[in-house]
């Protein structure tokens, strides 16, 4: 799938499902949320970016997402999009993981 098609799918999901984007990416180690929103703005997705999983602490991505969800019990439904760590996500978030 081309990047344009993937971005369009993400935009459609966000728009039609009233979805929000929480970033858990290595990019957050180098850029503040405002800068990451600028990158998403290039694809008209910035209005959906609502937060970022904190950098502090150690742990695998799936563990950090579990911690975030435990702190934000208002999140009912979610999807994890990732291009790596498939084994851990499939084990812990089978129904929510899209690679």
* 5-22 per-position pLDDT tens digit: 888 988 998 899 888 888
CA dihedral 51, 55, 56, 61 (to 10 degrees): 100
CA–CA separation, 28 vs 20, rounded Å? 17
Are the beta carbons of 13 and 21 closer than 8 angstroms? no
Range of the domain at 69: 57-99
Are the beta carbons of 65 and 53 closer than 8 angstroms? yes
Co-location of 74 and 49 in the same domain: no
The residue among 59, 54, 58, 66 whose CA lies nearest residue 24 is 54
For 53-95, write each residue's pLDDT tens digit: 888 777 788 888 898 889 998 888 888 888 777 788 888 888 8
**How many domains in the chain?**
2
Task: Tell me the whole-structure pTM to 2 decimals.
Answer: 0.78
Co-location of 17 and 30 in the same domain: yes
Classify 4 as helix, strand or coil: helix
């Amino acid at each position: 799938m081309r990047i344009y098609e993937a971005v369009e799918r993400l935009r459609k999901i966000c728009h039609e499902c009233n979805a929000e984007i929480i970033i858990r990416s290595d990019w957050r180690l180098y850029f503040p949320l405002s800068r990451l929103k600028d990158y998403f703005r290039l694809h008209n997705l910035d209005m959906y970016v609502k937060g970022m999983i904190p950098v502090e602490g150690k742990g695998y991505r799936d563990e950090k997402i579990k911690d975030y969800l435990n702190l934000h019990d208002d999140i009912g439904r979610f999807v994890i999009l990732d291009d790596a760590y498939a084994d851990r996500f499939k084990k812990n978030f089978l129904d929510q993981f899209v690679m």
